[in-house]
Protein backbone atom coordinates (compact mmCIF):
# COMPACT_ATOMS: atom_id res chain seq x y z
CA UNK A 1 0.00 0.00 0.00
CA UNK A 2 0.98 3.63 -0.44
CA UNK A 3 -0.01 6.77 1.48
CA UNK A 4 -1.11 10.06 0.00
CA UNK A 5 -2.78 13.25 1.17
CA UNK A 6 -5.88 14.33 -0.74
CA UNK A 7 -8.77 16.76 -0.66
CA UNK A 8 -12.02 14.80 -0.66
CA UNK A 9 -14.60 17.57 -0.09
CA UNK A 10 -14.67 21.29 -0.97
CA UNK A 11 -13.78 23.64 1.89
CA UNK A 12 -12.52 20.82 4.11
CA UNK A 13 -8.96 20.02 5.16
CA UNK A 14 -7.26 17.21 3.21
CA UNK A 15 -7.04 13.71 4.66
CA UNK A 16 -4.42 10.95 4.74
CA UNK A 17 -5.44 8.09 2.42
CA UNK A 18 -4.05 4.62 1.79
CA UNK A 19 -4.21 3.29 -1.77
CA UNK A 20 -2.62 0.60 -3.91
CA UNK A 21 0.77 1.56 -5.34
CA UNK A 22 -0.19 3.06 -8.74
CA UNK A 23 1.00 1.31 -11.89
CA UNK A 24 2.54 3.00 -14.94
CA UNK A 25 1.71 2.46 -18.60
CA UNK A 26 3.74 3.13 -21.77
CA UNK A 27 5.40 6.57 -21.66
CA UNK A 28 4.94 6.78 -17.91
CA UNK A 29 7.14 6.20 -14.85
CA UNK A 30 6.44 5.28 -11.24
CA UNK A 31 8.38 7.51 -8.83
CA UNK A 32 8.88 7.04 -5.11
CA UNK A 33 8.67 10.59 -3.77
CA UNK A 34 11.46 11.72 -1.43
CA UNK A 35 10.39 15.36 -0.97
CA UNK A 36 7.39 17.39 -2.16
CA UNK A 37 7.08 21.19 -2.04
CA UNK A 38 3.77 22.52 -0.77
CA UNK A 39 2.37 26.05 -0.66
CA UNK A 40 -0.38 28.55 -1.30
CA UNK A 41 -1.42 27.09 -4.67
CA UNK A 42 -2.05 23.74 -2.96
CA UNK A 43 -3.94 25.23 -0.04
CA UNK A 44 -6.09 27.15 -2.55
CA UNK A 45 -7.88 23.92 -3.48
CA UNK A 46 -9.76 24.02 -0.25
CA UNK A 47 -11.31 27.39 -1.23
CA UNK A 48 -12.86 26.07 -4.44
CA UNK A 49 -16.62 25.51 -4.49
CA UNK A 50 -15.99 22.27 -6.35
CA UNK A 51 -12.82 20.17 -6.59
CA UNK A 52 -11.52 19.40 -10.13
CA UNK A 53 -12.09 15.79 -9.03
CA UNK A 54 -12.13 13.88 -5.77
CA UNK A 55 -10.01 12.66 -4.19
CA UNK A 56 -7.66 15.42 -5.38
CA UNK A 57 -3.98 15.03 -4.48
CA UNK A 58 -2.14 18.40 -4.36
CA UNK A 59 1.62 18.96 -4.82
CA UNK A 60 3.11 20.68 -7.90
CA UNK A 61 6.80 19.92 -7.39
CA UNK A 62 8.84 17.06 -5.99
CA UNK A 63 12.04 15.01 -6.08
CA UNK A 64 12.03 11.22 -6.07
CA UNK A 65 13.57 7.99 -7.32
CA UNK A 66 12.33 6.18 -10.42
CA UNK A 67 10.96 2.85 -9.22
CA UNK A 68 9.52 1.46 -12.47
CA UNK A 69 9.04 2.58 -16.07
CA UNK A 70 6.42 1.67 -18.65
CA UNK A 71 9.02 2.11 -21.42
CA UNK A 72 9.62 4.91 -23.87
CA UNK A 73 10.71 7.48 -21.30
CA UNK A 74 14.49 7.13 -21.46
CA UNK A 75 15.20 7.16 -17.75
CA UNK A 76 16.57 4.23 -15.76
CA UNK A 77 15.13 2.70 -12.59
CA UNK A 78 16.94 4.16 -9.57
CA UNK A 79 17.55 7.58 -11.18
CA UNK A 80 16.85 10.61 -8.98
CA UNK A 81 14.47 12.95 -10.79
CA UNK A 82 12.78 16.28 -10.27
CA UNK A 83 9.04 16.33 -10.94
CA UNK A 84 7.51 19.42 -12.55
CA UNK A 85 3.75 19.90 -12.97
CA UNK A 86 3.81 19.80 -16.80
CA UNK A 87 2.50 16.26 -17.40
CA UNK A 88 1.55 16.80 -21.06
CA UNK A 89 1.14 19.44 -23.75
CA UNK A 90 0.10 19.17 -27.41
CA UNK A 91 3.68 19.67 -28.61
CA UNK A 92 2.51 21.02 -31.96
CA UNK A 93 0.98 24.46 -31.41
CA UNK A 94 2.77 27.79 -31.75
CA UNK A 95 3.16 28.16 -28.00
CA UNK A 96 4.74 24.71 -27.63
CA UNK A 97 7.05 25.54 -30.55
CA UNK A 98 8.26 28.71 -28.83
CA UNK A 99 9.02 27.01 -25.50
CA UNK A 100 5.84 28.43 -23.99
CA UNK A 101 4.13 25.04 -23.60
CA UNK A 102 3.01 25.96 -20.09
CA UNK A 103 0.32 28.11 -21.74
CA UNK A 104 -0.67 25.47 -24.34
CA UNK A 105 -4.46 25.16 -24.46
CA UNK A 106 -4.09 21.39 -24.11
CA UNK A 107 -1.69 21.46 -21.15
CA UNK A 108 -2.23 18.78 -18.50
CA UNK A 109 -0.94 19.79 -15.10
CA UNK A 110 -0.23 17.64 -12.08
CA UNK A 111 -2.24 18.82 -9.07
CA UNK A 112 -5.01 19.97 -11.41
CA UNK A 113 -5.84 17.70 -14.35
CA UNK A 114 -3.94 14.79 -12.78
CA UNK A 115 -2.92 13.82 -9.26
CA UNK A 116 -0.22 15.92 -7.64
CA UNK A 117 2.90 14.68 -5.89
CA UNK A 118 1.89 14.73 -2.20
CA UNK A 119 2.13 10.95 -1.99
CA UNK A 120 4.62 8.17 -1.37
CA UNK A 121 4.29 6.99 -4.97
CA UNK A 122 3.25 8.94 -8.07
CA UNK A 123 2.91 8.13 -11.76
CA UNK A 124 4.02 10.76 -14.23
CA UNK A 125 5.23 11.19 -17.80
CA UNK A 126 8.59 11.91 -19.40
CA UNK A 127 7.43 15.50 -19.91
CA UNK A 128 7.36 16.16 -16.16
CA UNK A 129 10.76 14.55 -15.41
CA UNK A 130 14.02 16.40 -14.92
CA UNK A 131 17.03 14.06 -14.37
CA UNK A 132 19.07 14.92 -11.26
CA UNK A 133 22.18 13.41 -9.67
CA UNK A 134 22.34 11.55 -6.36
CA UNK A 135 24.25 14.59 -4.98
CA UNK A 136 21.18 16.81 -5.54
CA UNK A 137 19.62 16.77 -2.07
CA UNK A 138 15.82 16.14 -2.29
CA UNK A 139 14.71 18.77 0.26
CA UNK A 140 16.82 21.51 -1.29
CA UNK A 141 15.81 20.68 -4.87
CA UNK A 142 12.07 19.93 -4.44
CA UNK A 143 11.08 23.65 -4.32
CA UNK A 144 12.68 24.28 -7.73
CA UNK A 145 10.25 22.52 -10.07
CA UNK A 146 7.29 24.91 -9.79
CA UNK A 147 8.07 27.66 -7.24
CA UNK A 148 11.73 28.17 -8.07
CA UNK A 149 11.08 27.84 -11.80
CA UNK A 150 8.38 30.52 -11.59
CA UNK A 151 10.67 32.73 -9.49
CA UNK A 152 13.45 32.46 -12.07
CA UNK A 153 11.23 33.22 -15.06
CA UNK A 154 9.54 36.07 -13.16
CA UNK A 155 12.89 37.84 -12.73
CA UNK A 156 13.63 37.25 -16.43
CA UNK A 157 10.19 38.64 -17.35
CA UNK A 158 11.07 41.98 -15.72
CA UNK A 159 13.63 42.54 -18.50
CA UNK A 160 15.90 44.13 -15.87
CA UNK A 161 19.57 43.43 -15.26
CA UNK A 162 22.56 44.41 -13.14
CA UNK A 163 22.08 47.67 -11.28
CA UNK A 164 18.33 47.89 -11.73
CA UNK A 165 16.16 48.05 -8.64
CA UNK A 166 13.52 45.33 -8.22
CA UNK A 167 10.58 45.39 -5.81
CA UNK A 168 9.32 42.07 -4.43
CA UNK A 169 5.94 42.00 -2.69
CA UNK A 170 5.33 38.89 -0.57
CA UNK A 171 8.35 37.01 0.80
CA UNK A 172 6.93 33.48 1.20
CA UNK A 173 7.97 30.29 -0.58
CA UNK A 174 7.92 32.04 -3.96
CA UNK A 175 9.05 35.53 -2.96
CA UNK A 176 12.16 34.51 -1.03
CA UNK A 177 13.37 32.68 -4.13
CA UNK A 178 12.64 35.71 -6.34
CA UNK A 179 14.84 37.74 -3.95
CA UNK A 180 17.69 35.23 -4.32
CA UNK A 181 17.36 34.89 -8.10
CA UNK A 182 17.31 38.69 -8.47
CA UNK A 183 20.44 39.13 -6.32
CA UNK A 184 22.22 36.40 -8.28
CA UNK A 185 21.41 38.43 -11.43
CA UNK A 186 22.92 41.57 -9.89
CA UNK A 187 19.66 43.40 -9.22
CA UNK A 188 19.17 45.58 -6.16
CA UNK A 189 16.18 44.21 -4.21
CA UNK A 190 13.55 46.04 -2.17
CA UNK A 191 11.20 43.55 -0.54
CA UNK A 192 7.96 43.99 1.33
CA UNK A 193 5.77 41.60 3.33
CA UNK A 194 3.12 42.30 5.97
CA UNK A 195 4.71 39.58 8.14
CA UNK A 196 8.06 40.61 9.73
CA UNK A 197 9.10 36.95 10.17
CA UNK A 198 8.84 36.41 6.42
CA UNK A 199 10.60 39.68 5.69
CA UNK A 200 13.64 38.37 7.55
CA UNK A 201 14.11 35.91 4.65
CA UNK A 202 14.81 38.90 2.40
CA UNK A 203 17.76 40.02 4.53
CA UNK A 204 18.93 43.59 4.78
CA UNK A 205 16.79 44.93 1.93
CA UNK A 206 13.55 44.52 3.86
CA UNK A 207 11.38 47.62 3.72
CA UNK A 208 7.92 48.91 4.46
CA UNK A 209 5.43 49.17 1.58
CA UNK A 210 7.22 50.12 -1.65
CA UNK A 211 7.19 53.88 -2.23
CA UNK A 212 5.75 55.48 -5.33
CA UNK A 213 8.10 55.46 -8.36
CA UNK A 214 10.79 53.70 -6.30
CA UNK A 215 11.68 50.63 -8.40
CA UNK A 216 12.30 49.67 -12.06
CA UNK A 217 10.15 46.54 -11.87
CA UNK A 218 8.08 44.65 -9.31
CA UNK A 219 7.39 40.93 -8.93
CA UNK A 220 4.09 40.37 -7.12
CA UNK A 221 4.44 37.11 -5.17
CA UNK A 222 1.18 37.11 -3.26
CA UNK A 223 -2.28 36.71 -4.85
CA UNK A 224 -3.67 39.99 -3.54
CA UNK A 225 -5.45 42.94 -5.15
CA UNK A 226 -3.71 45.38 -2.80
CA UNK A 227 -0.29 43.97 -3.67
CA UNK A 228 -0.91 44.44 -7.41
CA UNK A 229 -2.09 48.01 -6.87
CA UNK A 230 0.94 48.73 -4.66
CA UNK A 231 3.18 47.34 -7.40
CA UNK A 232 1.59 49.53 -10.10
CA UNK A 233 2.19 52.63 -7.95
CA UNK A 234 5.75 51.66 -7.03
CA UNK A 235 7.04 50.94 -10.53
CA UNK A 236 8.73 53.76 -12.44
CA UNK A 237 7.74 54.90 -15.94
CA UNK A 238 8.51 52.27 -18.54
CA UNK A 239 8.78 49.54 -15.91
CA UNK A 240 7.22 46.10 -15.60
CA UNK A 241 4.90 44.53 -13.04
CA UNK A 242 5.23 40.73 -13.10
CA UNK A 243 2.30 38.75 -11.70
CA UNK A 244 3.90 35.58 -10.31
CA UNK A 245 1.19 34.41 -7.90
CA UNK A 246 -2.33 33.54 -8.94
CA UNK A 247 -5.68 32.59 -7.50
CA UNK A 248 -9.06 31.94 -9.14
CA UNK A 249 -10.73 34.27 -6.65
CA UNK A 250 -8.59 37.45 -6.97
CA UNK A 251 -9.46 40.36 -9.29
CA UNK A 252 -7.77 43.72 -9.69
CA UNK A 253 -8.40 47.02 -11.36
CA UNK A 254 -5.78 49.60 -12.26
CA UNK A 255 -6.00 53.01 -13.87
CA UNK A 256 -5.99 52.44 -17.63
CA UNK A 257 -4.70 55.99 -18.17
CA UNK A 258 -1.80 55.65 -15.71
CA UNK A 259 -0.82 52.22 -17.02
CA UNK A 260 -0.74 53.33 -20.67
CA UNK A 261 0.64 56.85 -20.26
CA UNK A 262 3.37 55.73 -17.84
CA UNK A 263 4.33 52.85 -20.14
CA UNK A 264 3.85 50.15 -17.52
CA UNK A 265 3.96 46.54 -18.78
CA UNK A 266 1.97 43.81 -17.01
CA UNK A 267 3.54 40.35 -17.48
CA UNK A 268 2.51 36.91 -16.21
CA UNK A 269 4.94 34.38 -14.70
CA UNK A 270 4.02 30.71 -14.38
CA UNK A 271 6.81 28.13 -14.58
CA UNK A 272 9.26 29.03 -17.37
CA UNK A 273 11.24 27.63 -20.27
CA UNK A 274 13.22 24.39 -20.00
CA UNK A 275 16.50 26.27 -20.37
CA UNK A 276 15.52 28.61 -17.51
CA UNK A 277 14.94 25.57 -15.27
CA UNK A 278 18.38 24.24 -16.23
CA UNK A 279 19.99 27.58 -15.37
CA UNK A 280 18.21 27.61 -12.01
CA UNK A 281 19.36 24.08 -11.13
CA UNK A 282 22.96 25.10 -11.89
CA UNK A 283 22.66 28.16 -9.61
CA UNK A 284 21.45 25.91 -6.77
CA UNK A 285 24.27 23.41 -7.38
CA UNK A 286 26.76 26.30 -7.23
CA UNK A 287 25.25 27.41 -3.89
CA UNK A 288 24.17 30.82 -5.26
CA UNK A 289 20.51 30.05 -4.47
CA UNK A 290 19.40 28.04 -1.43
CA UNK A 291 15.69 27.51 -0.79
CA UNK A 292 14.71 28.09 2.84
CA UNK A 293 12.58 25.08 3.74
CA UNK A 294 10.29 23.99 6.57
CA UNK A 295 10.18 20.18 6.85
CA UNK A 296 7.01 18.23 7.50
CA UNK A 297 5.98 14.56 7.53
CA UNK A 298 3.17 13.45 5.21
CA UNK A 299 0.84 12.62 8.12
CA UNK A 300 1.28 16.13 9.55
CA UNK A 301 -0.27 17.84 6.52
CA UNK A 302 -3.92 17.06 7.47
CA UNK A 303 -3.43 17.65 11.20
CA UNK A 304 -1.61 20.98 10.76
CA UNK A 305 -3.54 22.09 7.68
CA UNK A 306 -5.24 25.18 9.12
CA UNK A 307 -2.03 26.46 10.70
CA UNK A 308 -0.17 25.89 7.43
CA UNK A 309 -2.88 27.57 5.36
CA UNK A 310 -2.63 30.63 7.59
CA UNK A 311 1.11 30.87 6.89
CA UNK A 312 2.43 29.51 10.19
CA UNK A 313 5.89 28.86 8.72
CA UNK A 314 8.59 30.64 6.71
CA UNK A 315 10.06 29.69 3.34
CA UNK A 316 8.79 26.74 1.36
CA UNK A 317 7.11 23.77 3.02
CA UNK A 318 8.73 20.49 2.04
CA UNK A 319 7.00 17.24 2.89
CA UNK A 320 8.93 13.97 3.22
CA UNK A 321 6.50 11.15 2.39
CA UNK A 322 8.98 8.55 3.64
CA UNK A 323 9.27 10.08 7.13
ZN1 LIG B 1 0.64 23.19 -27.50
Query: May I ask the CATH architecture of the domain 148-268?
Result: 3-Layer(aba) Sandwich (3.40)
- Ligand 1 center from residue 97 Cα (angstroms): 7
User: Ligand 1 centroid vs 80 CA: distance in angstroms?
Assistant: 28
Which CATH superfamily groups domain 2-146+272-320?
Answer: Medium-chain alcohol dehydrogenases, catalytic domain (3.90.180.10)
Domain ranges in the chain? 2-146+272-320, 148-268
pLDDT for residue 10 is more than 80: yes
Q: How far is the CA of 319 from the centre of ligand 1 (A)?
A: 32
Q: Please count the CA atoms within 13 angstroms of the CA of 134 that sit on its side-chain side.
A: 3
- pLDDT per position as a tens digit, 50-106: 888 889 999 999 999 999 999 888 899 999 999 999 999 999 999 999 999 999 999
237 alpha carbon to ligand 1 midpoint, in Å?
Answer: 34
Residue 100 CA, ligand 1 centroid: distance in Å: 8
Give residue 46's pLDDT band: very low, low, confident or very high (50, 70, 90): confident
| CA 95 to centroid of ligand 1, rounded, Å | 6
Q: Calculate how far, in angstroms, residue 109's C-alpha sits from the geometric centre of ligand 1.
A: 13
Quick check: pTM over 0.85?
yes
Q: How far is the CA of 98 from the centre of ligand 1 (A)?
A: 10
Amino acid sequence: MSSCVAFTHPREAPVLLEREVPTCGPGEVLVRVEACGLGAADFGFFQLDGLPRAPMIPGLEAVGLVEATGGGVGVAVGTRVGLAPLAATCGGCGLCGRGLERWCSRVELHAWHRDGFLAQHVVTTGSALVPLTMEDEPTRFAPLFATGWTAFSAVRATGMGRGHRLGVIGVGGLGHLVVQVARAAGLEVRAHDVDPARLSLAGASATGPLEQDSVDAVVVCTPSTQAIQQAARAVRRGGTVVLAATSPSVRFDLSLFDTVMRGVTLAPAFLGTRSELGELINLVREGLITPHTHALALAEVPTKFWMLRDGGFTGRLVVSPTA
